[in-house]
């Protein structure tokens, strides 16, 4: 029986302001120290070409053989558009938008999965981590 590859997918969060670095700190508060990951902030002061260059460098550095997943704050925003511009440059790269903490934690826990499967799992975890809490609690109270 073949052993499962244990090479981990590299993780980059690209977002407006310092949202990505705050999310990495939150993930470390839950999971402990994390490796092969980084965040990049996009602000009005940054030149787009410089962000693209830094992101391309990060993707190259973090790819240890299993690829890299870039998580961005929202589809259509500058961080996502910059990340999407790299898809043609790297074979082992996927971009998932709408990053939230449930998504990020799941990606860190399952980062030995194949890149395309990890991207699908990330999307599912992000959606499944969203609730209208009051509605959920009211429904639970009605059942008891």
The string of pLDDT tens digits covering residues 65-94 is 999 999 999 999 999 999 999 999 888 999
Task: Specify if 1 maps to a domain.
Answer: no
The string of pLDDT tens digits covering residues 35-72 is 999 999 998 888 999 999 999 999 999 999 999 999 99
The count of domains in the chain is 1
On the question of pLDDT at 3 being above 70, the answer is: no
Please give the average per-residue pLDDT across 95-115, as a whole number.
98
Are 69 and 122 in contact by the 8 Å Cβ rule? The answer is: yes
The two structure tokens encoding residue 24:
């990495």
Q: What is the CATH number of the domain that holds 108?
A: 3.40.50.510
| Percent of the chain residues past pLDDT 90, beyond the cut | 81
| 14 secondary structure, DSSP code | E
Domain that holds residue 54: 10-143
Please give the average per-residue pLDDT across 116-143, as a whole number.
91
Task: Specify if 22 maps to a domain.
Answer: yes
Task: Specify if 134 maps to a domain.
Answer: yes
Task: Specify if 2 maps to a domain.
Answer: no
Task: Specify if 76 maps to a domain.
Answer: yes
What's the gap between Cα 50 and its chain centre? 21
* pTM (two decimals): 0.91
Q: Look at the chain and count its residues.
A: 144
Cα distances (Å, whole numbers) of residue 118 to 1, 21, 35, 44, 115: 23, 21, 17, 31, 5
Task: Specify if 3 maps to a domain.
Answer: no
Are 2 and 28 in contact by the 8 Å Cβ rule? The answer is: no
């Amino acid at each position: 029986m073949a052993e499962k590859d244990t090479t981990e997918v590299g993780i980059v969060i690209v977002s407006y302001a310092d949202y990505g670095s705050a999310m990495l700190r939150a993930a470390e508060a839950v999971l402990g120290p994390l490796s092969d990951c980084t965040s990049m902030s996009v602000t009005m002061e940054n030149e787009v070409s410089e962000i693209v260059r830094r992101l391309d460098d990060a993707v190259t550095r973090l790819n240890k053989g299993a690829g890299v997943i870039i998580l961005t704050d929202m589809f259509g925003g500058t961080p996502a558009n910059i990340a999407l511009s790299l898809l043609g440059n790297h074979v082992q790269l996927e971009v998932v938008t709408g990053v939230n903490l449930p998504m990020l934690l799941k990606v860190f826990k399952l980062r030995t999965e194949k890149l395309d499967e990890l991207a699908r799992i990330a999307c599912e975890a992000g959606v499944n981590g969203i609730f209208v809490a009051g509605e959920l609690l009211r429904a639970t109270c009605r059942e008891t």
